Amino acid sequence: VVLTQSPGTLSLSPGERATLSCRASQSFSSNYLAWYQQKPGQAPRLLISGASSRATGIPDRFSASGSGTDFTLTISRLEPEDFAVYYCQQYSFSPLTFGQGTKLEIK
């Protein structure tokens, strides 16, 4: 399953709303879709899995939605620490695959 994320880069200001897209080449259950955040020099961190379940310690400004082939990660009000690269991942089918990432940068 090929995952295509858009946009490649998103330039926003703190306090704004961010909407990141992940489109799949074939349909699968949103139960097997995850979103990760990665900052420079760090391992990815799980944000959301199983459609919309936030991982431990993830603030509620992060939410996810979608089904079938179209999935969305929303950050309701950007905080300075949210500027990073975001990846979607499907773990419904083998091989597991990741999107190419969306870089969220400060405008």
Q: Which of 26, 100 has the CB closer to another protein? A: 100
Q: How far apart are CA 73 and CA 52, in angstroms?
A: 9
- Contact between 8 and 20 under an 8 Å Cβ cutoff? The reply is no
- Contact between 36 and 49 under an 8 Å Cβ cutoff? The reply is no
Interface residue with another protein among 15, 43, 60, 80 (CB under 8 A) is 43
> Restricting to residues 15-34, which ones interact with another protein according to CB under 8 A?
32, 34
Q: Which of 47, 78 has the CB closer to another protein? A: 47
Using DSSP's 3-state secondary structure scheme, residue 66 falls into strand
Tell me which amino acid residue 29 is. S
Beta bridge partners of 70: 23, 67
> Restricting to residues 56-85, which ones interact with another protein according to CB under 8 A?
56
Residues that bind another protein (CB under 8 A): 32, 34, 36, 38, 43-46, 49-50, 55-56, 87, 89, 91-92, 94-101
